[in-house]
Amino acid sequence: MNTDKLKQDRQEEQDKRKILSVCICVHLWTKKMVFNNRLFFVLLSFVLSGCRGSQSALDSAGVQSARLENLWWLFFFVCGAIYLIVMAVLLAAFFRSRREQKRANSETQPDVMPNPEREKRLGNIVKGAVAVTIIVLFVFMIASFRTGRAVNSLREAEQPLVIKVTGHQWWWEIEYQDRIPSNNISMANEIHIPVGRPVKFELQSTDVIHSFWVPNLHGKKDLIPGYKTTFVFQADKPGTFWGQCAEFCGHQHAKMRFIVVAESPEDFNNWVVAQRQSSVQPATNLQKRGQEVFLTTTCAQCHTIQGTPAYGRVGPNLTHIASRSYIAAGSLPNTKGHLGGWISDPQKIKPGVRMPMNSYSSEDLQALLEYLQTLK
C-alpha cells in the first residue's frame, strides 16, 4: 500500500519535472528566436518590405489586381481590429479577476458569488459577439464573391490580343497568335502588353502543372498538361512586373520567373514589328564563325533562330535573344558575361536544367557570343 503511494508520488514528480523542462526549453528557444537571433527584426523587415514593388499584390497596376488589393485590405483591417479587441478584452478580464480576488480575500467572502444581474449582462455580451461574428463572416463572403465576379468578368475586346503561354520545366514559352500565321511571335520569359487593352492568355503545359502569377496584375492560374485554361487581364499602368511560377514543378521551380512589360500602345506596336523580323544575318567574320558554331554543334538541336536552319523546339526561341532583359527564366541579366557563363555551364546556374554543358575553345565561344549579341 505504502510502496504504491510512493511510486505514484515519484511518477508525479517525474512528470512535473518533464513538463517543467519542456517549458524552459520552449521559453529559451522563443526568447532566443525573438530577441537574440535578430530573426524577429529580419521577419519584421520582410513583412514591411513586401508591400511595394514590382512583385507585390499590394501595389496593383490593373483593375483586377486593384479589386484583389481592396479585398485584401478589407480583410486586413477587419481582422486586425477584431484581433485588437479580443486582446483588449482578454487583458481586461485578466486584471479584473485579480482585483476582485484581492477584494474578496480582504473581506473574507467566498471567491465566487452568484450575481444573476451580472450573469445576464455577460450572457448578452456573448450573444452580441456571436451575432457580430456571423455578420462579419457574411460581409467577408459577399465581398469575396463580388470580387471574384468582378475579376472574372473583364470584357474581352472585339479583337483580343491572344497570348499563348506554355509552361516547360523551367521556362515560359510565349507565343503571340495572329490570324496570319507568319505574323506569330515566339518569345521566352518576357511578355509585352499594351496598357489599357484586355489581354487573353491561353495557358498550357508540356510536362507538369505550373502556375502563372503576376502579383501586380492578377491572381494565379494553373497551367495543366493536356488542358487549356484561359485568363484575361489588363494593365492600367505602364511598368515592368515580375511573374513567378507558383506551383512547385521540380528542381528549378524557384528560377522559373518571367517579366511582364506593360507599355504604351505605340511602344508595343514597335516591339511587335521588331519581333516579327527574321534574325539579323552575321556581318563580320567573327559573327559568321559564331553562326557556324551555333548551327554545327548541339545548339541547333534544341533552339530555333529564324532565318537559319536551326529549328529545334526543345528550348527557347533565340531569334531575338539580344532584345531580352534576362536569360534563363529571369535567373541572370542578359549580358555577354552571363551569356558566356550560361552557355559554358548552365548546370552550375540552374542544376538539372534541360540544357547540357558545352566545352568550346575560347575562340569559338567568343565568336558564338558575338553572334548571339547581334540577334536584337
Partner 1 sequence: MKRISKILILSLSAFTFLFVSCEREERGFRVEPPSAGRIESKQLTPLQAGVPTANPPVHNEYEENAYAMAEGKRLFSYMNCVGCHAHGGGAIGPPLMDAKWIYGGQPEQVFATIVEGRPNGMPSFRGKLPDYQIWQLAAYVRSMSGQVPFDAAPARNDDMKAKPPENSIEEAKPIKNMPRIP
Residues lying near Cu ion in the complex (CB under 5 A) = 210, 245, 249, 253, 256
Examine residue 214 and tell whether it contacts ligand HEC (CB under 6 A). Answer: no
- Measured from the CB atom, the residue of 245 and 262 that comes closer to Cu ion is 245
108 phi-psi bin (left φ>0, alpha ψ -120 to 50, beta other): left
Using CB atoms within 10 Å of the CB of residue 201, give its burial: 0 to 12 exposed, 13 to 18 middle, 19+ buried: buried
- Measured from the CB atom, the residue of 188 and 203 that comes closer to ligand HEC is 188
Question: With CB under 8 A, what is the number of residues at the site for partner 1?
Answer: 19
- State the nearest-atom distance from the C-beta of 225 to partner 1, in Å: 7
- State the nearest-atom distance from the C-beta of 358 to ligand HEC, in Å: 4
Q: Beta strands 220-223 and 257-263: pairing type?
A: unpaired
Q: ∠275-281-282 over CA atoms, to 5°?
A: 130
List 314, 333, 337, 363, residue binding partner 1 (CB under 8 A):
314
List 193, 355, 367, 375, residue binding ligand HEC (CB under 6 A):
355
Q: Are 241 and 55 in contact (CB under 8 A)?
A: yes
Q: Are 259 and 172 in contact (CB under 8 A)?
A: no
Examine residue 174 and tell whether it contacts ligand HEC (CB under 6 A). Answer: no
Q: ∠51-216-324 over CA atoms, to 5°?
A: 115
- Measured from the CB atom, the residue of 136 and 280 that comes closer to ligand HEC is 280
Distance separating alpha carbons of residues 334 and 317, to the nearest angstrom = 15
> Segment contacting partner 1 (CB under 8 A): 4-12, 36-44, 82-90, 355-363?
355-363
Examine residue 225 and tell whether it contacts partner 1 (CB under 8 A). Answer: yes
> Using CB distances below 5 to 8 A depending on partner kind, what does residue 303 bind out of Cu ion, partner 1, ligand HEC, none?
ligand HEC
DSSP state, residue 279: P
Beta bridge partners of 193: 262
Side-chain-side CA neighbours of residue 296 (13 Å): 9
List 80, 250, 333, 351, residue binding partner 1 (CB under 8 A):
351
Distance separating alpha carbons of residues 307 and 374, to the nearest angstrom = 14
Q: Is 210 helix (H, G, I), strand (E, B) or coil?
A: strand
Provide the mask over 311-350, with x wherever binding to ligand HEC is found by CB under 6 A and - wherever it is not. ---xxx-x--x--x--xxx---------x---x------x
> Using CB distances below 5 to 8 A depending on partner kind, what does residue 253 bind out of Cu ion, partner 1, ligand HEC, none?
Cu ion
List 175, 207, 222, 267, residue binding partner 1 (CB under 8 A):
207
Question: With CB under 6 A, what is the number of residues at the site for ligand HEC?
Answer: 29
Distance separating alpha carbons of residues 137 and 143, to the nearest angstrom = 10
- Measured from the CB atom, the residue of 60 and 252 that comes closer to Cu ion is 252
Cβ neighbours around 38 below 10 Å, total: 10
Scan for cell 503545359, then name that residue. 205
User: Of residues 118-177, which lie at the interface with partner 1 (CB under 8 A)?
Assistant: none
Distance separating alpha carbons of residues 247 and 100, to the nearest angstrom = 55
Cβ neighbours around 290 below 10 Å, total: 23
List 358, 366, 373, 374, residue binding partner 1 (CB under 8 A):
358
- Measured from the CB atom, the residue of 71 and 245 that comes closer to ligand HEC is 245
| Radius of gyration in angstroms for the set of CA atoms belonging to the chain, rounded to a whole number | 31
> Segment contacting ligand HEC (CB under 6 A): 8-16, 92-100, 205-213, 291-299?
291-299
- Residues of this chain that interact with ligand HEC (CB under 6 A) are 170-171, 188-189, 294, 297-299, 301-303, 314-316, 318, 321, 324, 327-329, 339, 343, 350, 353-356, 358, 368
